[in-house]
A and B are shown apart, each in its own frame.
Chain A
Amino acid sequence: MEIGIPKIRVDAADKVTGAAKYTGDLEPRDCLVARVVHSTIANGRVVSIDVSEAEKVPGVVRILTCFDVPDIQFPTPGHPWSVEAAHQDVSDRKLLNQRVRVYGDDIAAVVAVDDVAAARAVRAVRVEYEEYPACVTVDDALNSSAPPIHEEKPDNVLVRSALSVGDMTFDEAAASEPDLLRLEKTYETQTVQHCHIEPPVSHAYMAGGKITVVTSTQIPHIVRRVIGQALGIPWGDVRVVKPYIGGGFGNKQDVLYEPLNAWLCQQVGGRCVKLEISREETLANTRVRHAIRFQVEAAVRPDGAVVARRLRADSNQGGYASHGHAIVANAANCFKQLYRDRKALEAQCRTVYTNIATGGAMRGYGIPQADFAAECMADDLAALVGMDPLEFRYLNCMGPDYEDPHTHVKFNSYGLKACMEKGAGFIGWKELREKYRGQTGPVRRGVGMAIFCYKTGVHPISLETASCRMLLNQDGSVQLQMGATEIGQGADTVFIQMAAECTGIPAGRIHIVSAQDTDTAPFDTGAYASRQTYVSGKAVKKTGAVFKRRILDYAAGMLSRPAEALDLRGGEIVDASSGAALLPLGEVAVTAFYSLDKSVHISAEETSHCKENTFASGVCFCEVEVDIPMGKVKVLNIVNVHDSGVLINPKLAEAQVHGGMSMGLGYALGEELIYDGKARPLNPNLLDYKLPTVMDTPKLNALFVEVPDPTGPFGNKALGEPPAIPVAPAVRNAVLHATGVAVDSLPLTPQKLVERFTQAGLI
């Protein structure tokens, strides 16, 4: 058995010694350096650019502007391409843009011999703008009399959508019973950023008539396609190499600066050009998590049963579409999938262009936002009917039989209520709810919770496809090649475990090729949507079966026995019924390669087109201490309990949960990109953007309820993103319990808390 073992990461030793190479570690020595010139307005148009002074800076090789780029608009999100035009991603940016839509938009680029020359030239570029009023919020963009941010969308609304469940409207349902209690609230989430520790970086060079781009990405095959689209060249003329990457969390599930890097390389005759994005640029000019405002109404019976809910969600898209409306649409789905409305659910969503940083994919893809709204509302409804929040959730949350009426995604395995039970036991829910009732004084404690559910991969909204390749080496070891990417989550290690499980070859004999090179790696859309162990895992399983059969077929010839009577276990060909060892795999391999009679290079490569999906779920419980006069929340105890099916590697699963919880705590208590009235980011650096430090992080407890999922290749389902989802509402609900103050917007910063405590008369 290789599944369920806490195997040590295959890349750990290389990562502790510096042997693991990341993009920036692989630059050729004679690299030119590129820097982007960013606009100093948020909304407007570049009228002219004067590069004459900049060109005089010694060491400058080439300066290119938005007036030089190909007239091609291209999409950037890491989605599978759609062959149907109607479902293709929005193409709304060029390599460099004359129409400025974000403060710091990319309007020109300098290529120079070193970074000092490049920076000097960037400072010497003179730009003349026509400036329009900046839209920071959704309301600004909807009310603004300024010209549309994209002329294709005159009202600045990228997409509107609606969904409903039940035969009644919300209003009808709310009027359908006499004693219903009503709640109307607005919950808001903020703009945050991924803050992977390795900023985006790439280098590009031309050789053999192709452009090679080495880049820190989650989605090498998609990057290849988008570079082709953006430059107007055949996709096969682009080669993308993805080495180890220093985190992604969704930001690198977007094609960021690779197309520009490739184009700059073309413009200097194919010389190697590197484009390192600074931390400030990463925060201000790559992608962010959408800020979403949720205006919600609910009607609930006095016994706590939810009868109807209505949601209006407005998502702040920023300047470009990127993943666009998919985020808030997903958010509305979560709202729907978490609780049972006895009669009606209505949701209306809008995604609105503004002039802040572009919203893209970020761990949880709209669900952390929706979960904040849904789970604040759950506690507020529980309070309205005077019910314990845990009991309220038991009564109203989706059960094992739930199937989404629109997407038909189901709980093929269900552990949500068991997670709640386990978490409540761990934190001491009942005792603490009682113990912390009616406190007084400046320092008070409370306990809160939040649940979530999350689908696994993107089917049926989008295509799910993955390939795997296995090659038998001459010594009987295996090369495992995936299109799926290792981005720190441990994918390489669990793929080896899976391959070992389904081939019977020990994990130690399976070598994974960690880097993807689109010229040689199998196709996979990449690391996102918590999909790889499920979707790409199916490809491993399918390939492993074929690979094993081919080995046994060859061995059958060597042993003059039928292949069906043989098996591969522990790296040996064995008698299938007795288990007796017959032939070491190494002997099969060397014979297969070098036999003068029958030379066969045994390999297998299979594509898995996944047409299934399944819900993962879970809960966060946390206990907090609130220092009221200081506005500080200290998390005393916190636990996430996850229903993610079978854990392929429990130790790595636990580590994944820790990281998500930490991200959730940052979301809850401090992280926020702040903009001034001109949509200028005020805190785009790691001093002012409050990523949690170790001093801010409590002991993180990760528990699991392992219910095997029949649709998972090894009983597994989503785990990558979920841990980040329920933490923020759990913290908010704990603060509510401690102080009686319901804070309805994230993050719960000290200043906001002091303001709210002052209003509530606690200070």
Chain B
Amino acid sequence: MYDIERFYRAKDVPDAVRALEADPDAMLISGGTDVLIQTREGKLAGCSLVSINQLPELTGIRIEEDGTIVIGGAATFSDITNNKALQSRIPILCWAVDQVGSPQIRNVGTIGGNVSNGVTSADSASSLFALNAVVELTGPDGVRRLPIADYYAGPGKTVRQHSEILTAIRIARADYENYGGHYIKYGKREAMEIATLGCAVCVKLTEDKRRVDDLRVAFGVAAPIPMRCHETESKAKGMALDADLLDAVSQGVLAEVKPRDSWRASRAFRLQLVSELSRRALSRAITFAGGEIHA
């Protein structure tokens, strides 16, 4: 039994917002795979919970008329992986969230929760960074949207206000169309893992498929929060698809990341992974974008 002091099951989003406003100690629970674990550990013992678990208005996935992808905050990882519209548009995200925890966790864990935990190891986060995703928050004052990079305020922290709910993740057509993307999760095991390092790469090639038109390289666990390597990205623009490109990217990122030493992995090891994973993810992303590396 969980040490839950108060539990309120919200009927819809406005109801959840009201419940949060009414209780300054309340916190949201969605899939529960993090909140319940922390409750059991004692960190959140005695918590007051407002549940948005599987609220129908938050679980939908749709494509708006202008091609914008809208993923409900309570969409589960399985929902995303199995969604045909997403598979054809942003396979990188379908693939990335299919690496989270285990099949059972993916059946209940949600993308909103994954992002709102604010942890750097979240498997969805680096891909969302590489897709220039926009976070939609709904609160007492209505809806606001901000780029995902601005959502993270620090390790375990986001800019979400107490009574706000992450209602959707949005990705504009221009941010995914004609991009090839790939995410590599590096863990010590091949399943049931927390990423030692995660690397997501999205690349758009020139029309002749011979050069980089646009590149986005994002990492998880390479810094206290998920991050992009903007300098490396801009240097790569225009480069031919050859060994120099792979070298430039896999070397360039080293100057931008700030991994930590921890008992889970040393800084030196993480740097090795940063370099190697970016090289491998970029190669795959180029293939997915219709290009070929000429080594």
User: A670 within 8 Å of B by Cβ?
Assistant: yes
Mark the stretch among A393-401, A572-580, A692-700, A730-738 that contacts chain B.
A692-700
Write the B1-13 contact mask toward A (1 if CB under 8 angstroms, else 0). 1110000000000
Find out whether the CB atom of B272 lies under 8 angstroms from the CB atom of A754.
yes
User: B174 within 8 Å of A by Cβ?
Assistant: no
* Chain A residues near B186 (CB-CB < 8 A): 630
Find out whether the CB atom of B3 lies under 8 angstroms from the CB atom of A116.
yes
Q: Which of A670, A694, A763 contacts B188 (CB 8 A)?
A: A670
Measured in the bound complex, the distance between the Cα atoms of B272 and A630 in whole Å is 8
Find out whether the CB atom of A114 lies under 8 angstroms from the CB atom of B1.
yes
Asked whether A695 and B189 contact (CB < 8 A) given A119-B3, A119-B45, A674-B263, the answer is yes
* Chain A residues near B265 (CB-CB < 8 A): 751
Measured in the bound complex, the distance between the Cα atoms of B190 and A631 in whole Å is 14
Measured in the bound complex, the distance between the Cα atoms of B1 and A35 in whole Å is 14
Find out whether the CB atom of B273 lies under 8 angstroms from the CB atom of A696.
no
Find out whether the CB atom of A694 lies under 8 angstroms from the CB atom of B45.
no
Query: What's the minimum C-beta distance from B7 to chain A, rounded to whole angstroms?
Result: 13
Find out whether the CB atom of B189 lies under 8 angstroms from the CB atom of A670.
yes
Find out whether the CB atom of A763 lies under 8 angstroms from the CB atom of B272.
yes
Measured in the bound complex, the distance between the Cα atoms of B45 and A758 in whole Å is 45
* Chain A residues near B264 (CB-CB < 8 A): 688
Asked whether A120 and B45 contact (CB < 8 A) given A114-B1, A630-B276, A751-B266, the answer is yes
Measured in the bound complex, the distance between the Cα atoms of B266 and A763 in whole Å is 16
Write the A326-355 contact mask toward B (1 if CB under 8 angstroms, else 0). 000000000000000000000000000000
Which label, helix, strand, loop or mixed, suits the secondary structure of the B interface?
A: loop
Find out whether the CB atom of A687 lies under 8 angstroms from the CB atom of B1.
no
Write the A497-518 contact mask toward B (1 if CB under 8 angstroms, else 0). 0000000000000000000000
Query: What's the minimum C-beta distance from B6 to chain A, rounded to whole angstroms?
Result: 14
Measured in the bound complex, the distance between the Cα atoms of B276 and A692 in whole Å is 24
Find out whether the CB atom of A119 lies under 8 angstroms from the CB atom of B189.
no
User: A749 within 8 Å of B by Cβ?
Assistant: yes
User: A676 within 8 Å of B by Cβ?
Assistant: yes
Q: Which of A114, A695, A750 contacts B269 (CB 8 A)?
A: A750
When C-beta atoms are compared, the residue in chain B nearest to A683 turns out to be B263
User: A50 within 8 Å of B by Cβ?
Assistant: no
Write the A672-702 contact mask toward B (1 if CB under 8 angstroms, else 0). 0010100000110011101011111000000
Measured in the bound complex, the distance between the Cα atoms of B262 and A676 in whole Å is 11
When C-beta atoms are compared, the residue in chain A nearest to B266 turns out to be A751
Q: Which residues 318-332 of A sit at the B interface, judged by CB distance below 8 A?
A: none
Query: What's the minimum C-beta distance from A312 to chain B, rounded to whole angstroms?
Result: 29
Measured in the bound complex, the distance between the Cα atoms of B42 and A482 in whole Å is 43
Asked whether A755 and B189 contact (CB < 8 A) given A116-B2, A119-B42, A676-B263, the answer is no
* Chain B residues near A695 (CB-CB < 8 A): 189-191
Measured in the bound complex, the distance between the Cα atoms of B290 and A571 in whole Å is 73
Q: Which residues 32-54 of B sit at the A interface, judged by CB distance below 8 A?
A: 42, 45-46
User: A166 within 8 Å of B by Cβ?
Assistant: no
User: B194 within 8 Å of A by Cβ?
Assistant: yes
User: A147 within 8 Å of B by Cβ?
Assistant: no
Measured in the bound complex, the distance between the Cα atoms of B188 and A690 in whole Å is 8
Asked whether A116 and B269 contact (CB < 8 A) given A630-B186, A690-B189, A693-B192, the answer is no
Find out whether the CB atom of A693 lies under 8 angstroms from the CB atom of B263.
no
* Chain A residues near B46 (CB-CB < 8 A): 120
User: A115 within 8 Å of B by Cβ?
Assistant: yes
Measured in the bound complex, the distance between the Cα atoms of B270 and A750 in whole Å is 11
Find out whether the CB atom of A693 lies under 8 angstroms from the CB atom of B190.
yes
Asked whether A696 and B190 contact (CB < 8 A) given A119-B42, A123-B42, the answer is yes
Measured in the bound complex, the distance between the Cα atoms of B272 and A750 in whole Å is 11
Measured in the bound complex, the distance between the Cα atoms of B281 and A630 in whole Å is 13
Write the A694-724 contact mask toward B (1 if CB under 8 angstroms, else 0). 1110000000000000000000000000000
Write the B157-190 contact mask toward A (1 if CB under 8 angstroms, else 0). 0000000000000000000000000000010111
User: A302 within 8 Å of B by Cβ?
Assistant: no
Find out whether the CB atom of A692 lies under 8 angstroms from the CB atom of B189.
yes
User: A629 within 8 Å of B by Cβ?
Assistant: yes
Find out whether the CB atom of A687 lies under 8 angstroms from the CB atom of B194.
yes
Write the A723-763 contact mask toward B (1 if CB under 8 angstroms, else 0). 00000000000000000000000000111001100100001
When C-beta atoms are compared, the residue in chain A nearest to B262 turns out to be A682
* Chain A residues near B272 (CB-CB < 8 A): 629, 631, 754, 758, 763
Find out whether the CB atom of A755 lies under 8 angstroms from the CB atom of B192.
no
When C-beta atoms are compared, the residue in chain B nearest to A278 turns out to be B40
Q: Which of A120, A631, A670, A693 contacts B3 (CB 8 A)?
A: A120
* Chain B residues near A688 (CB-CB < 8 A): 194, 264
Measured in the bound complex, the distance between the Cα atoms of B45 and A670 in whole Å is 32
Measured in the bound complex, the distance between the Cα atoms of B5 and A120 in whole Å is 12
Q: Which of B189, B268, B276 contacts A693 (CB 8 A)?
A: B189
Asked whether A749 and B188 contact (CB < 8 A) given A123-B45, A754-B269, A754-B272, the answer is yes
Measured in the bound complex, the distance between the Cα atoms of B193 and A696 in whole Å is 12
When C-beta atoms are compared, the residue in chain B nearest to A114 turns out to be B1
* Chain B residues near A755 (CB-CB < 8 A): 268-269
Find out whether the CB atom of B3 lies under 8 angstroms from the CB atom of A682.
no
Query: What's the minimum C-beta distance from A610 to chain B, rounded to whole angstroms?
Result: 42
When C-beta atoms are compared, the residue in chain A nearest to B3 turns out to be A116
Asked whether A629 and B263 contact (CB < 8 A) given A116-B3, A687-B192, A694-B191, the answer is no
When C-beta atoms are compared, the residue in chain B nearest to A763 turns out to be B272
Write the B259-284 contact mask toward A (1 if CB under 8 angstroms, else 0). 00001111011001100100000000
* Chain A residues near B1 (CB-CB < 8 A): 114-116
Measured in the bound complex, the distance between the Cα atoms of B191 and A692 in whole Å is 9
Measured in the bound complex, the distance between the Cα atoms of B35 and A560 in whole Å is 77
Find out whether the CB atom of A629 lies under 8 angstroms from the CB atom of B276.
yes
Query: What's the minimum C-beta distance from A630 to chain B, rounded to whole angstroms?
Result: 6
* Chain B residues near A763 (CB-CB < 8 A): 272
Measured in the bound complex, the distance between the Cα atoms of B102 and A694 in whole Å is 11
Measured in the bound complex, the distance between the Cα atoms of B216 and A122 in whole Å is 49
Q: Which residues 194-221 of B sit at the A interface, judged by CB distance below 8 A?
A: 194, 196
* Chain B residues near A631 (CB-CB < 8 A): 269, 272
When C-beta atoms are compared, the residue in chain B nearest to A686 turns out to be B192
Query: What's the minimum C-beta distance from A92 to chain B, rounded to whole angstroms?
Result: 30
Measured in the bound complex, the distance between the Cα atoms of B176 and A247 in whole Å is 49
When C-beta atoms are compared, the residue in chain B nearest to A752 turns out to be B269
Measured in the bound complex, the distance between the Cα atoms of B2 and A674 in whole Å is 28
Measured in the bound complex, the distance between the Cα atoms of B2 and A421 in whole Å is 56
Query: What's the minimum C-beta distance from A179 to chain B, rounded to whole angstroms?
Result: 43
* Chain A residues near B268 (CB-CB < 8 A): 755
* Chain A residues near B42 (CB-CB < 8 A): 119, 123
Q: Which of B45, B194, B269 contacts A751 (CB 8 A)?
A: B269
Find out whether the CB atom of B266 lies under 8 angstroms from the CB atom of A693.
no
* Chain B residues near A123 (CB-CB < 8 A): 42, 45
* Chain A residues near B188 (CB-CB < 8 A): 670, 690, 749-750
Measured in the bound complex, the distance between the Cα atoms of B189 and A694 in whole Å is 10
Query: What's the minimum C-beta distance from A672 to chain B, rounded to whole angstroms?
Result: 10
* Chain A residues near B192 (CB-CB < 8 A): 686-687, 693
* Chain B residues near A750 (CB-CB < 8 A): 188, 196, 269
Asked whether A682 and B263 contact (CB < 8 A) given A119-B45, A750-B188, the answer is yes
Write the B234-278 contact mask toward A (1 if CB under 8 angstroms, else 0). 000000000000000000000000000001111011001100100
Find out whether the CB atom of A693 lies under 8 angstroms from the CB atom of B194.
no
* Chain A residues near B194 (CB-CB < 8 A): 687-688
Give the top 10 A-B pairs by smallest Cβ distance, nearest first: A695-B190, A695-B191, A693-B191, A751-B269, A629-B276, A116-B3, A682-B263, A696-B190, A116-B1, A690-B188
Known contacts A119-B45, A630-B276, A693-B190, then 11 further A-B pairs from the complex at CB < 8 Å, ordered by chain A residue: A120-B3, A629-B272, A683-B263, A687-B193, A688-B194, A694-B191, A695-B190, A749-B188, A750-B188, A751-B265, A754-B269
Which residues of B are at the interface with A, using a C-beta cutoff of 8 A? 1-3, 42, 45-46, 186, 188-194, 196, 263-266, 268-269, 272-273, 276
Supply 19 A–B pairs (Cβ within 8 Å), ascending by A. A116-B3, A120-B45, A629-B276, A630-B276, A631-B269, A631-B272, A670-B189, A676-B263, A682-B263, A683-B263, A688-B194, A688-B264, A690-B188, A693-B189, A693-B191, A749-B188, A751-B266, A754-B269, A763-B272
